[in-house]
Amino acid sequence: MMDVMNRRGFLAGLGMAVGAATLGQRLAWSAESKPAVRRGTDVVVLGRSGIKTSVLGIGTGTVGGSQQLALGQEGFTRLVRYALERGIRYIDTADMYQMHTFVRLALQGVPRDKYFIQTKTMARHPEVAKADIERFRRELRVETLDSVLMHCMTTGTWPQDMRPVMDVLEQAKQRGRIRAVGVSCHGLEPLAASVDCD
């Protein structure tokens, strides 16, 4: 039986094809320079940062974190420990998921070098970003945040628009408060803009 493609499916496929064609050359890794990833628990280096973490991560923001919150602290802790025991070291969270305390409690007693936490800020002003960094460190009870992303960039002008926040994150990185900084892109335009951004 032949599948019927609807407009949404066609546009989604077209968008993915255009995105792949646009960014493919810039984002491609040559087979000679990168080892093949065979499992989600394989450890890889995060960009040029030198930071090592598992390919596969555990997310904490399903439906804005509601699915993880519904597990309760005990259930969430079991989930995180299950992942850690199997080699998944990467935990993705964000301020807007309201999961920092859950993550901190789930990781109590786990050696700090056994996990990597990435969190995200919705800050659109430098003062808010500064406050977020310190609050995140307190909520997660870590000296250094492994990775902080500017969350939910939706335009191709975000590198210019967000320069003051980027500067705050970079200063925090220089001071040892953050190990890596980045961006979460919600759309092709912001993703394309991120390719040429430091």
DSSP secondary structure string for all residues of 18-64: HHHHHHHHHHPPPTTTSPPP-STT-EEE-TTS--EEESSEEES-TTT
Q: Which two tokens stand for residue 182?
A: 């980045």
Q: What is the β-pairing status of strands 52-54 and 43-45?
A: antiparallel
pLDDT digits (tens, 9 = 90+) for 74-121: 999 999 999 999 999 999 999 999 999 999 999 999 999 999 999 999
Share of the chain above pLDDT 70, in %: 82
The answer to whether position 54 is within a domain reads yes
The answer to whether position 117 is within a domain reads yes
Q: What is the β-pairing status of strands 90-92 and 57-59?
A: parallel
The answer to whether position 3 is within a domain reads no
Residue 192: how many other CB atoms lie within 10 Å: 15
pLDDT above 70 (res 179): yes
pLDDT of residue 78: 96
The answer to whether position 43 is within a domain reads yes
The answer to whether position 101 is within a domain reads yes
Residue 144 confidence class, pLDDT cut points 50, 70, 90: very high
Question: Total structural domains in the chain?
Answer: 1
pLDDT digits (tens, 9 = 90+) for 25-55: 444 444 456 667 789 899 999 888 899 999 9
CATH number, position 176: 3.20.20.100
List the domain range (segments joined by +) for residue 134. 39-195
Mean pLDDT (the chain, rounded): 86
The answer to whether position 6 is within a domain reads no
The answer to whether position 21 is within a domain reads no
The answer to whether position 27 is within a domain reads no
Q: Which residue has the higher pLDDT, 19 or 64?
A: 64
